A = this chain, B = another copy of it.
Amino acid sequence: MTAPQISTATLLVTCPDRRGLVASLAQVLYGHGVNILDSDQHSDPVAGQFFQRIRFDLAELRTDRTTLERSIDEVAQRFDMTWRMSYSDRRKRMAIFVSRLDHCLYDLLLRHRAGELDCDIRMVISNHEDLRPVADQFGLDFHHFPISPESKREQEGSELELLAALDIDLIALARYMQVLSESFVEQYPNRIINIHHSFLPAFSGARPYRRAYRRGVKLVGATAHYATGELDDGPIIEQSVARASHRDSVDDLVRKGRDIERTVLATAIRAHLEDRILVYENKTVVFE
């Protein structure tokens, strides 16, 4: 964790793997006077892709951000890089979508208050009224958008307007029990994080905990992933499990699942907020 007063920038880069990449980028940054704090890189030899995350100190930047970005872009074009930069003094803005279950919502709000999630939480959106008091307790705006098959398109349109108006960077689906339409999801590629239960073997369809109970699983788990058009099939960010036994009732499995879900969702969101995730070929690089 960085003390808040220091301005830092994080550069994320993806490109075809080629010689000289690292030197060129490091040279440009050095030329502008920046001090590299962290750097992680990864090469996928199968995909032939290179990934890098560089976090650096802006305190002694000799030029300005625009000039720096222009220089980076020149290197980027040379090496066919996709890149993006974020600045610590421009905090990300998050919206949280919920339905009726409160465990993930509370978990995110408490971690945020404890300083674990470096972002502004701008609002809570829900298809139910149930969790309005929780948002109130934490001084957050709460927006209710009830969804029916008939109203879905229109309500999602209103949600998108609201998200755009507040310049939202990241949407956390904190047990939002409503499938977002494909056109909605496409507005926020790799910027919507969902959490769902996971079992070995997998169970699809309704009442998964009941089915896991019937199957006698010895583990219950959860997966956090970016939402894509294909439900529950986007790039996996984080997974974890807890042990179960024959003593666990369906309710016990649900309880254990809740603990895993909230931890896994928070871990995934934290990774996103710290610009540690890169996505390619429907999977992720998550730097540590």
Q: From DSSP, what is the main secondary structure of chain A's interface residues?
A: mixed
Are A259's CB and B249's CB within 8 A?
A: no
A202 to B26, CA, bound (A): 41
Q: Which of A16-24, A78-86, A160-168 contacts B (4 or more CB under 8 A)?
A: A16-24
A219 at the interface (CB under 8 A from B): yes
A40 at the interface (CB under 8 A from B): yes
What is the minimal beta-carbon distance from A284 to any residue of chain B, in angstroms?
6
A35 to B50, CA, bound (A): 12
A239 at the interface (CB under 8 A from B): yes
A111 to B239, CA, bound (A): 22
A65 at the interface (CB under 8 A from B): no
A60 to B245, CA, bound (A): 29
- Which one, B19, B39, B114, B221, contacts A258 given CB within 8 A? B114
Residues from chain B with Cβ under 8 Å of A60 in the complex: 19
Q: Which of A171-179, A181-189, A209-217 contacts B (4 or more CB under 8 A)?
A: A209-217
A198 at the interface (CB under 8 A from B): yes
What is the minimal beta-carbon distance from A238 to any residue of chain B, in angstroms?
6
Are A252's CB and B23's CB within 8 A?
A: no
Interface residue range, chain A: 35 or more
Residues from chain B with Cβ under 8 Å of A231 in the complex: none
A34 to B237, CA, bound (A): 32
Name the residue of chain B whose CB is nearest to the CB of A263: B259
Residues from chain B with Cβ under 8 Å of A39 in the complex: 22, 39, 41
User: What 1/0 flags go to A23-35 for Cβ under 8 Å of B?
Assistant: 1001101100111
Are B217's CB and A251's CB within 8 A?
A: no
What is the minimal beta-carbon distance from A116 to any residue of chain B, in angstroms?
6
Binding site for B on A (CB under 8 A): 1, 19-23, 26-27, 29-30, 33-45, 60, 102-103, 106, 110, 114, 116, 137, 198-202, 214-219, 221, 223, 235-241, 245-247, 249, 251-252, 255, 258-259, 263, 281-286, 288
